A and B are shown apart, each in its own frame.
Chain A
Amino acid sequence: MSPRRATLPAESLAQGARLAARDLTLTVGRRTLIAGLQLEFSPGQIWCIAGPNGAGKTTLISTLAGLQPPTQGVVELDGLCLSGWPGSALALRRALMPQAVRDAFSASVFEAVLLGRHPYLAGWGWEQPSDRAAALDALAALGLSELAARDILSLSGGERQRVALAAVLCQQAPLMLLDEPLAHLDLHHQIDCLKLLVQRAAAGCTVIFSCHDLNLARRYASHALLLDGAGVTNAGLVREVLSAANASRAFGYPLMLIESAGHEALVPAH
Chain B
Amino acid sequence: MSERQVPYSAGTRPGPQDAVRGMTARRACLIWLALAGLALAGLLASLSLGSVAISWADLVHALFRPDGGLDDEIVRSLRLPRAGAGFACGALLSLSGALLQVLLRNPLADPYVLGVSGGAASFALAAMMFMLPWWGVDASAFAGALLAVLFVLGMARREFWRSDPVEASPRLLLTGVVLGTGWMALISLLLTLAPDRGLRGMLFWLSGDLNGAADAWPGLLVLGVVLVPSILAAPQLNVMLRGETVAHALGVPVGPLRLRIYLLASLATAAAVVTAGTIGFVGLVVPHMLRISFGNDQRMLLPASALGGGALVMLADLAARTVVAPAQLPVGVITAITGVPVFLWMLLRRRH
Partners in one complex: yes
Interface residues of A (CB under 8 A from B): 62, 65, 67-69, 86-92, 94-96, 98, 101-108, 110-112, 114-116, 118-119, 121, 124-127, 132-133, 136, 140, 145-146, 148-149, 151, 153-154, 167, 171
Whether B19 lies near A110 (C-beta < 8 A) is yes
Q: How many residues of B contact A (CB 8 A)?
A: 43
Whether A148 lies near B241 (C-beta < 8 A) is no
Whether B25 lies near A96 (C-beta < 8 A) is no
Whether A107 lies near B249 (C-beta < 8 A) is no
Which among B165, B234, B291, B299 is the interface contact of A105 at CB below 8 angstroms? B291
Minimum CB–CB distance for A101 against chain B, Å? 5
Whether B251 lies near A90 (C-beta < 8 A) is yes
| Interface status of B11 (Cβ within 8 A of chain A) | yes
Bound-complex Cα distance A115 to B296 (A): 13
Which among B7, B243, B245, B251 is the interface contact of A91 at CB below 8 angstroms? B251
CB neighbours of B239 from chain A (8 A): 115, 118
Minimum CB–CB distance for B90 against chain A, Å? 22
Q: A110-B21, A125-B234 are in contact. List 8 more A-B contacts (CB 8 A).
A: A96-B246, A98-B249, A115-B239, A121-B235, A126-B24, A127-B22, A136-B8, A148-B20
Whether B296 lies near A106 (C-beta < 8 A) is yes
Chain B positions 223-244 with a Cβ under 8 Å from a chain A Cβ: 234-236, 238-239, 241-243
Instruction: Please give me the residue from chain B that is nearest to A96 by CB atom.
Output: B249
Whether A136 lies near B296 (C-beta < 8 A) is no
Whether A149 lies near B11 (C-beta < 8 A) is yes
Which among A91, A102, A132 is the interface contact of B249 at CB below 8 angstroms? A91
Which among A88, A126, A146 is the interface contact of B299 at CB below 8 angstroms? A126
Bound-complex Cα distance A10 to B193 (A): 74
Minimum CB–CB distance for A194 against chain B, Å? 21
Whether A153 lies near B352 (C-beta < 8 A) is yes
Interface residues of B (CB under 8 A from A): 4, 7-8, 11, 13, 16, 19-25, 101, 105-107, 163-165, 167, 234-236, 238-239, 241-243, 245-246, 248-253, 291, 295-297, 299, 352
Whether B19 lies near A149 (C-beta < 8 A) is yes
Bound-complex Cα distance A269 to B208 (A): 72
CB neighbours of B249 from chain A (8 A): 65, 67, 91, 94-96, 98
Whether A87 lies near B242 (C-beta < 8 A) is no
Whether B164 lies near A68 (C-beta < 8 A) is yes
Whether A67 lies near B107 (C-beta < 8 A) is no
CB neighbours of B106 from chain A (8 A): 104
What are 22 residue pairs bridging A and B, where the CB atoms are less than 8 Å apart in the complex?
A: A62-B165, A68-B165, A91-B251, A96-B249, A98-B249, A102-B243, A104-B107, A106-B291, A106-B352, A107-B241, A115-B238, A115-B250, A118-B250, A126-B25, A127-B22, A132-B22, A140-B7, A146-B7, A149-B11, A149-B20, A151-B352, A154-B352
